[in-house]
Each structure stands twice: as structure tokens, then as C-alpha cells.
Amino acid sequence: MALKSPISIIGSIRDWNDTAVALAETDDGGASVVLFSRVKSSWIETEAVSAAKLLSLPLLEKARADSIQ
């Protein structure tokens, strides 16, 4: 599944060990877990966090989430 371009985040951005993670829309109408790469300054797909785990994570601090969207 390819990510929709431009990347469209679904729902809230979560905090995973000080890394921003979220769900992003895919071209086929589904969703994929993505993380924000500080090095690339962009969202990238990851399999390190499952969708179920993502939903259990705390919300990312609002100011930080606003700065990367």
C-alpha cells in the first residue's frame, strides 16, 4: 500500500518513546502506521508499531503535534 500524497494523517498523533506516530491514509482507502522522521522531516511508514499499539499510546503534546503537521 502506498501512502496518499500529500500525506493525510487520520486522527491524533501519538507519542511512542518521544517519536511522533500516527495513522496515514493509503491510496487504496486504507491506513498505515507512520512515524515522523526528524532526519527526513517527513512521515515514513513503519512496521515497528502496530495499529493496536498505536491506539494505546499517549497523545503527543499539542504544541509538538502542531509543529509537525
Q: Are 35 and 20 in contact (CB under 8 A)?
A: yes
Give the pLDDT band of residue 1 (cuts 50, 70, 90). confident
pTM: 0.90
What lies within 8 Å, CB to CB, of 5 at 6+ separation is none
Q: What cell does 51 get?
A: 495499529
Q: What distance lies between CA 30 and its chain's CA centroid? A: 14
Residue 68 phi/psi, 5-degree rounding, is -110, -5
- Interval 36-55: pLDDT, tens: 999 999 999 999 999 999 99
